[in-house]
A and B are shown apart, each in its own frame.
Chain A
Amino acid sequence: MPEPIVQIKDVKKRFGRVEALRGVSLDVNEGEVVVIVGPSGSGKSTLLRCINRLEEYEEGTIIVDGMTLDNTSNINAIRREVGIVFQSFNLFAHLTALQNLMLAQRIVRKRSREEAEKIAQALLAKVGIPEKAKAHPAQLSGGQQQRVAIARALAMNPKIMLFDEPTSALDPEMIKEVLDVMTSLAKEGMTMLVVSHEMGFARAAAQRVIFMDEGLIIEQATPHDFFENPKEERTRLFLSKILHL
């Protein structure tokens, strides 16, 4: 059994007097897809953001691909290996879709213009919008923007992809196009941690579903077990709310 690619040990994080994470431990194996659900304020986004150190944590250890995150000296090295997709896309507004994909390749991965452009074009084709290469973010729909954002993260060849509520800011008719890209990515064997309440995606692509509440992992199980017979009362209560039962 190889070592898990993400090892989180007893991580604690507070914002002022609010304890966002109260001791979270989680291992994720290479190629695994983990979906994290939970009410707002449960710490799921914070946990995700700790994995590439967009948030710092006070206690505990996170090891990503053999690199320990506890000090900040190797932070850019870790971020090269971990892609993140945000709820609000955060595409670079002054650049075209193609340039969005090329910028970090050029200055972080030090690729040549030709190579970066080739990779960018291929990824735009992969997420289904090769014709939008020259468009600026404001000229794209939300779904298209999020697909460009996924492609931008993939352009860095990350070993792990984090998704922070990638479909929450989208109009309903655009959710599927983004989930389709994520599902095909999961099928290719990408290690993924996904904060999302898209149960269809969890059932189709995830190996594990985790329920967080009040800064703790309450329950984890396979998608089938998680949705069909959750063990914890809090999980049942949460599921009854989001499934509108």
Chain B
Amino acid sequence: MLDSTLLDFVMEEHKKNAPGRELSFVVGGEVSIRQDPWWWLVVAVAAIIVLLVMLLPVPFREIVLFARDGILVTMVVTVASYFLILIVGLLGGLGRISKNKLIFGLASLYVEVVRGIPLLVQLIGWYFASPVIIQKLGLWLNLQALIEYRPNPIITAIMAITVCYGAYMSEIVRSGIQSVPKGQMEAARSLGMSHFQAMRHVVLPQAFRVILPPMGNEFIALLKDSSLVSVVAVADLTRRGREFMSAHFNPIETWFMVALLYLIMTIVAARVVSYIEKRSKYERY
């Protein structure tokens, strides 16, 4: 699920930028264990999980069955947040290079403030503080819908993560845009393109290739940091693990299996990122 989302995103980018061109322009872009030996680690971790579940169904099969909805929640939170982070990051990154002082100032303030506050604090703050603010606002405006507002934990968590990671992504996008030589924008403008058209068709496609590796890193970091949402009543993999441990009192087995489940997700994601990187490389000046 997360694999195809990332891949689709990249394929779409390519289709827009280079209609009719194959995605692969570099030999070695094919996925295979021979090309990318790290796939062996994926195989090994998957084998350990399968063996444990088959050979020791109590407690490992029970843990996996108990936590499977948590795995789904972890994936949904990660992928949904990442999609929103890409949008916030693009807008924030463009704001950070804007010549308009107000836009630049707001974008910079956002990045500087949000980066200075721990994600956990932001999550808890959003979860507990935002409903109170919204309800107070409802009382003030006398709007019944706002007064009766009850936070949806998953949506609140996705919003908090998006605001936090969006700041980091903004800086990645900014650095990517600034890595494209100034002459590219000049050449595009001199052909009569508007600033927007030049950004869209010339600068951003090149920036995108530069920032693919850090963007992939952000995805993997996000997948791991999504475990923090377990403190705000989201039943993700970590929270489900804690619940299982409390019920059966077997911390060693529980956290070993939870760790393996996170590991299989992150190393598969890492392989997909590395695959996309290899495929979208092109020779630069």
Contacts and interface: CB of A to CB of B under 8 A. Distances in A.
A156 B285 contact: no
A107 B193 contact: yes
Nearest to A92: B202
A76 interface: yes
B189 A156 contact: no
B144 interface: no
Nearest to B202: A92
A104 interface: yes
A103 interface: yes
Contact of A107 (B18, B183, B201, B284): B201
A139 interface: yes
B191 A54 contact: no
Given A108-B193, A136-B282, A90 B186 contact: yes
B209 A94 contact: yes
A125 interface: no
A153 B206 contact: no
B194 A103 contact: no
A90 B183 contact: yes
Is chain A's interface secondary structure helix, strand, loop, or mixed overall? Answer: mixed
Interface string A103-121: 1100110000000000000
Most buried by B among A88, A90, A94: A94
B96 to A, nearest CB: 22
Contacts of B197: 107-108
B186 A86 contact: yes
A84 interface: yes
A152 B191 contact: yes
B192 interface: yes
Contact of B192 (A79, A95, A139): A79
B183 A138 contact: no
Interface residues of B, number: 26
B190 A54 contact: yes
A99 interface: yes
B201 A137 contact: no
Contacts of A90: 181, 183-184, 186-187
Contact of B183 (A88, A99, A136): A88
B17 interface: yes
Interface in A123-152: 136-139, 149, 152
Nearest to A78: B192
Contacts of B202: 92, 103
B285 A92 contact: no
A80 B192 contact: yes
Interface in B171-199: 181, 183-184, 186-194, 197
A94 B183 contact: no
Contacts of B282: 93-94, 136, 138
Contacts of B201: 103, 107
Contacts of A86: 183, 186-187
A52 interface: yes
Contacts of B18: 94-95, 99
Given A103-B201, A137-B285, A138-B282, A93 B190 contact: no
A170 B285 CA distance: 14
Interface string A202-225: 000000000000000000000000
Given A79-B189, A95-B18, A104-B191, 19 more contacts: A76-B193, A76-B194, A86-B183, A86-B186, A88-B183, A90-B183, A92-B184, A92-B187, A92-B188, A99-B18, A103-B202, A104-B193, A107-B193, A107-B197, A108-B192, A136-B282, A137-B285, A138-B284, A138-B285
29 contacts: A52-B190, A54-B189, A76-B192, A82-B190, A83-B191, A84-B190, A86-B187, A90-B183, A90-B186, A91-B187, A92-B202, A93-B184, A93-B206, A93-B282, A93-B284, A94-B18, A94-B205, A94-B282, A95-B17, A95-B18, A103-B201, A104-B191, A107-B193, A108-B191, A137-B285, A138-B284, A152-B191, A153-B190, A156-B191
